[in-house]
Amino acid sequence: MTAAREMLFRLSEFAGVGGLTVLRDGEFALTGKLSTPLDLLLVPLRSEKYLAEVNASPRAAGVVTRPGLADGLDGRLAVGLADDPDACHSEIHALCVSRREAELRRRENVIHATAVIDPGAHVAPFGVDIGPDVWIGPNAVVSPGVSIEEGCSVHAGVVLGGPGFNVGTLGGRRKILPQLGGVRLAPHVELLANTCVARALFGGETTIGEETVADNLVYIAHDCQIGRRVQICALANILGRVVVGDEAYIGPSAVVVNGTRVGAGAKITMGAVVTREVAPGAVVSGNFAVDHDRFLAHMRAIR
């Protein structure tokens, strides 16, 4: 994914925010973390441990860091100094979100004439795209920045574009930070009752691929990229930045931990807790999940 280029910021615009002193000015498009799959990022750096990683990142455009770390940063990076880089970065992030939200408010909804929206559903009054032959059920919520493509079915109580769980410090208090990304449902996705799909945190979209289906009470967190024809069973939790390949299967009450990759055609069995990459076509079970045959052999050995 790449950052939207219609709005760029200069670090000097935020001088004084969260105690920021600008050492070297420059442009950035989004606030984010090193793991954020977007370009032109302003990132926080609080420890020398991550200095080399920041310098090597092609996505980083600027850094908010402590005074003692600034000398080690690459000359291409904009640099701001703050006693608490994370808190300062959160304050800058919130201001960027506010400016981009004002931009989003100017986007009129585009809703196809063949879409059927239950009177009890709530569709935001701006920034929503709904394609042909979409059905949206009662008490569903569609937030700004959500795109629903042709033939999707969104059942009762589904929430699309709710906030992701990203905690920071704003005004000296611990809060869930505002977000500015979106959600996209590819054609013919079906989400059963009370499924929640969080918006991307810093930009881009949480995406669900064509003909993917999710059972009741599924949670798909911020920045996930779900492939085509994936089956996600009831009560599954797919946490932030997870990538799921085409035609994978995620069983009931399974948990897939942040940043994990699940290969195409892989199967995660009921109740598994996945903490590392799952190879294409693999079957994993258990807490923490291992190869399914190994899991069964272990269970037989201890029973």
Residues labelled as active-site residues:
222
Report the C-alpha gap between 211 and 152 in whole angstroms: 8
* Cβ pair 205, 180 in contact under 8 A: no
Give dist(CA 181, CA 224) in Å, integer.
Answer: 12
| Rounded CA separation 103/88 (Å) | 23
Backbone angles phi, psi at 103, to 5 degrees: -65, -45
Residue 17: C-alpha distances to residues 14, 114, 202, 253 (Å) = 5, 47, 19, 42
CA 184 to chain centroid: 11
The pair of three-digit structure tokens given for residue 145, joined into one six-digit string: 């920045």
What would you report as the CA-atom Rg of the chain, rounded to the nearest whole angstrom?
A: 21
Classify the phi-psi angles of 139: left when phi > 0, otherwise alpha if psi is within -120 to 50, otherwise beta. left
Sign of CA dihedral 95, 100, 105, 110: negative
How far is Cα 261 from Cα 175, in angstroms, rounded to an integer?
Answer: 29
Residue 104, classed as helix, strand or coil, is: helix
CA distance 123 to 120: 10
User: Are 148 and 131 spatial neighbours (Cβ–Cβ below 8 Å)?
Assistant: yes
Question: Which amino acid type is present at position 137?
Answer: G
